[in-house]
Structure 1
Amino acid sequence: MASIKQRGNGKWRARYRDESGKEHARHFSTKREGQRWLDEQTAKIITGTYVDPRAGAVTLSAFYAEWAPRQVWEPLTEVAMNVALRGCTFADIELRKVRRSHVESWIKGMHSRGLAASTIRTRANNVRAVLRAAVRDKLIGADPSEGVTLPRARKVEQSMRIPTPEELRSLLSTSEPWFAPFVALCAFGGLRLGEAAALQIGDVDFLRRQIHVRRQVQRQPGGLVRISPPKYGSERTIVAPDALLELLSLHVRDLGVYGEAGWLFVGEHGNPPHQNTIHYWWKKTAAAAAVEGVRLHDLRHFYASGLIAAGCDVVTVQRALGHARPTTTLNTYGHLWPDAEDRTRAAAAGLMEAVFADSADRLRTVAP
C-alpha cells in the first residue's frame, strides 16, 4: 500500500508499508519527487531487494558478534576474522552509515603502516565477508567495500624463493640430528610445517614406500597445541623416495618416537612441536648453514619445482601438495611449467632425433 498527499504547508507526504506491515514516510517539495521515491521502494519490494532503512542501525562490530558464532570455521580462520574486525576503523559505525570512504581510509591506513599487501587483502576480504552477510540479512542494501582498490601483491614468480640444491645440502648437513628428517620431509615430500610436525610412526608405510598426511599441528594461545585435519581437507598419501624413508628409519632407530601416539618429533610437554619451536630451529639452522632469505615453506616450493621439472602434470602436483583445486597449483607454480614455445621446440627436437640417428647422419643429410 502506497499513497502520496499534499499537506497544508505545501509539502508532499509519500508513504508506504513494507512486507512486515511497517509504515515508512518521507516529505518532498514536489509530487514528482515523492512519486519517484515511492516507485523505487515499490520496485525493491517486488524484486526482493528492499531493505528497511532502520535495519542497519546496528554497528558492524555488534553484527559480527551476533553473526560469527553461527559460522563453521577452522580455529585459525576464527582468529584471522577476529584480528581483522579488531583492527577495522569503522567497526563501531552503524552499518547503514558505513561508506566506501570509510573502507578506503582503513585500507590506506594499513598500507601506510607498512603491512604487506597479502595481509591487507586478507583482512579486507574478511571484513568484506561480514558486510556481505549483512547484505544477505537485508540490514544494508549494498556492500560498501565493493570495488575498493586493494594493494597489488608481487607476482608469484618474483616473490617465490626456491632454494638451490647446494643450499639444501648445506641446511641438511648443519641441522641437528633430530631436525634433519623434518627438513627432508618438507623438501622431498612437500609437507607443510604443521603437517610434518604432526607425523606419527603409523603414518609412515615403509613397505609400500608411502607417507600418509592425516593431521596438522596448530599453535594455541599459551604455547599449547591443537591437532586438527590438514588445511582445506588436504589429507593425502605421499609417494616417498627410498632415501627419505631411510632417513626416517634411522631417526626412529636412533631417537625413537614419543608418547602413545608415536610422534616422530616432540616439543614441550611431550606434544609435537608447534610453529614457534620449528621456526626457532629453522633460523638457527639457516644461520649455521649461511643460507639467507630462505623460509621453511620455501622447501615446499623446492619440492614442487622438482616435480614440475621431472614432467609431472598439474593434477599430479596438485595431489602431491594437497591443494584443494588445480587452479591453486597453477596460480602458484604456473610460471614453472614450460610454455607452448618450449613444448613445441622440444617436440620438434624429438622429431629430429627420431629421423637423424646421430650427428654424422644429420650433417650428411642436411649439408648443401
Structure 2
Amino acid sequence: MATAVKRGDSYKITASCGYDISGKQIRKHTTWTPPAGMTPRQIAKELERQKVLFEERVNSGTTKDGNIRFEDFAAIWMKDFAQKQLKVKTYTGYEKSLVRINQAIGHIKLKDLRTGHLNEFYRNLEETGIRADLKYTSKIDIGAAIEQAGVTRTAFGKAAGVAGNTLRIAISGKRVSKETATAISEELGLKLSDAFRLEQPDRLLSSNTVRSYHRIISSCLGKAVKWGYIPYNPAVNAELPKMPKQEAAYLDEAEARQLLVLLHQEPIKYRAMITFDLLSGLRRGELLGLRWQDVDFENQTITIVNTLNYAPGAGVYVDTPKNTTSARPLKLSPTAFSMLLEYKRWQDDQRDACGDYWKDTVGRVFTGDDGAPVFPDSLTKWFAAFVKRSGLPDVHIHSLRHTYASLMIADGTPLPVVSRRLGHAQVSTTANIYAHAIASADEKAAQIAEKFADVVTTPEDCQATGKRKSPAKRRGRLELVG
C-alpha cells in the first residue's frame, strides 16, 4: 500500500515496486498538491485516491520522472502526439506559441509547475508591449546611417540578415517587424529605442489569444498526467481573462448588394472568388481548395473535400476540411453557378494563353493568372484593400461567411440547416456565433401575430377585469350602434 507524508502544502506519496538485484526495495515517489479551495475532508479523500492511482501506475510500470522540465516534455509531446494528430496549420501554430511559453515556464520541472506560474504568465501576456506582431518605424535616416558606415545597402542587408526589399521598406520609413528593427539597430551599433519607435505601443493581446496559449499548455499537461509524469494538471484551475462579447462582423442585405455591384469594376478572378464566397458561405480554405471535379453544374451542387492552406515552413498545401462535418455537399443557387461559368470561360482562355506554362495540375477552380494556387493571405489582403477603397463597412474576408449565415437566419432557415451548410460540428456553435442574427429573426417572428391585428378584439371590448364580454352584450352594443 502506498504511503503519504505531508510536506508543507503538498504530500509526498511513496510506493514500492519489488526489489533490485541486491535485494534492496525499489521505491517510487511523486508529489501531490491539493488544489486551492478543498476542505480537509476532501483533501483526505482525494489523497487516498491519489495513493491508489500512483500505486497502480508503479505496478503497471507507467510512472515517469516528474523532474523533466516543461520545455523538454513539450518537445516529447509535440513529437509523439501533436505532430501525428494535429493539422499542419495547428501544429505550426503550436510551435510558434511554444517559443513564448518556454521562455516563461520552460525551465520549470513538471513536478514543480503550479497553477500560480501559469496565472503569472497569463497576466504577463495581458501587459503592453508583449505582442509579437508589433511594428516599428525608423526615428533616424537609416539610409544615411548605412552610407556613413561606409558600406553598400546590399552588404549591410546581408550582414544584418535583412532581405533587400525589407531593408528598403525600413529606409522609406514604413513599418517593419521588431525582428527587422532589432537586426538593423544592432548592425548600426544602436539601441532599438534610439533607432526605431514602436507604433501603437498600447495594443494588447486579445483575451482569445491569451486563452489560446492556455489551451496549448493545458493540452500538453493533460498528456503529462495521462502518460504518468505528474498526478494532476495545474492548468485546470488557472485564472483566464474573460472573453468580451463580440458579434461577428457581417453585411446586411443592402450592403451585400452594394458589394456585389462594386465588384463588377474589379478583375474577374477576384470578383468570382468574392462573389462565390458570399453566395456559398465557404471558409477561405474551402473556397481555394475547390476543384472542378467537385462542381456539379447539372445538379447545381458542390462537394467540399479539400482545403488549401498556408503554414510557415510548409508553404501552400492541401489538407482535409476542418472537421468531419466540414466535408459536405452543398446545393447552391443558379446565380452562383452562372458566376462560375463566366469565370470558367476566363480561366479556359488563360490556360490556352499560357500553354505549357500553365501551372495547375489538379483542376483547381480558383487559380492565379498562370494557374498557380492562390496564396490564401493574398486574397485576404486584396479584399481588405477593396473594402477600404470602396467605402464599405470595415469587414474582413471571413465576414462573407458571416453575411451568408446571417441572411439565411433572417430568411427563416432552420438553425440545424444553417449549421449543416456551414459545416459546423455542433448546432450550438452556430447559435453562439450568430446570436445577433437569431435575436433579430426572433424579433421579426414575434411580429407575425400582427397579421391578425385587424381582427383581434380591441381593448374596449374587454371588461376592466380583463374578461371578454359575453356575445349577448356585444350584440346589444352592435344593435345600439345600428
Equivalent position of 1:180 in the other structure = 271
| 1:118 aligned onto 2:118 | no
Letter aligned with residue 229 of structure 1: T
Equivalent position of 1:59 in the other structure = 69
The 1:345/1:137 distance shift into structure 2, 3 A limit, reads: same
Note the C-alpha offset of 1:237. Answer: 1.8
- What is the CA deviation profile of residues 88-125 of structure 1, one whole-angstrom value per residue up to 9, with x for unaligned ones? 11022111111222101211121112111111111211
Pairwise CA RMSD of aligned residues? 3.5
TM-score normalised by the chain length of structure 2: 0.62
Equivalent position of 2:186 in the other structure = none
Equivalent position of 2:109 in the other structure = 94
The 1:49/1:334 distance shift into structure 2, 3 A limit, reads: farther
Aligned runs of 1:240-251 on 2, under 5 Å? 240-251=332-343
The 1:51/1:293 distance shift into structure 2, 3 A limit, reads: farther
* Worse overlay, 317-326 or 274-283: 274-283
Cα contact 1:51–1:139 (8 A) shared by 2: no
Unaligned runs of 5+ in 1: 5-13, 27-36, 357-364
| 1:229 aligned onto 2:242 | no
Letter aligned with residue 98 of structure 1: L
* Worse overlay, 186-195 or 286-295: 286-295
Note the C-alpha offset of 1:211. Answer: 1.8
Note the C-alpha offset of 1:15. Answer: 9.5
Equivalent position of 1:362 in the other structure = none
Note the C-alpha offset of 1:81. Answer: 1.9
Equivalent position of 2:91 in the other structure = 78
Note the C-alpha offset of 1:321. Answer: 0.6
Cα contact 1:188–1:244 (8 A) shared by 2: yes
The 1:165/1:51 distance shift into structure 2, 3 A limit, reads: same
Aligned runs of 1:193-208 on 2, under 5 Å? 193-208=284-299
Equivalent position of 2:472 in the other structure = none
Equivalent position of 1:361 in the other structure = none
Note the C-alpha offset of 1:42. Answer: 6.1
Equivalent position of 1:289 in the other structure = 390
Letter aligned with residue 147 of structure 1: N
Equivalent position of 1:7 in the other structure = none
2:208 aligned counterpart, secondary structure = helix
The 1:298/1:171 distance shift into structure 2, 3 A limit, reads: farther
Note the C-alpha offset of 1:59. Answer: 0.9
Note the C-alpha offset of 1:152. Answer: 2.1
Letter aligned with residue 17 of structure 1: A
Between the aligned partners of 2:57 and 2:292, the Cα distance in structure 1 is: 57
1:152 aligned counterpart, secondary structure = coil
The 1:208/1:23 distance shift into structure 2, 3 A limit, reads: same
Equivalent position of 2:251 in the other structure = 162
* Worse overlay, 343-352 or 282-291: 343-352
Aligned length: 339
Equivalent position of 1:214 in the other structure = 305
2:268 aligned counterpart, secondary structure = coil
Between the aligned partners of 2:289 and 2:374, the Cα distance in structure 1 is: 8
- What is the CA deviation profile of residues 134-181 of structure 1, one whole-angstrom value per residue up to 9, with x for unaligned ones? 122222222222222222222132x53435225423552343211111
TM-score normalised by the chain length of structure 1: 0.80
* Worse overlay, 264-273 or 277-286: 264-273
Unaligned runs of 5+ in 2: 5-11, 19-24, 31-42, 131-203, 352-357, 457-474
* Worse overlay, 334-343 or 98-107: 334-343
The 1:95/1:188 distance shift into structure 2, 3 A limit, reads: same
Equivalent position of 1:261 in the other structure = 362
Between the aligned partners of 2:347 and 2:385, the Cα distance in structure 1 is: 21
Note the C-alpha offset of 1:39. Answer: 10
| 1:105 aligned onto 2:120 | yes
Max Rg structure: 2
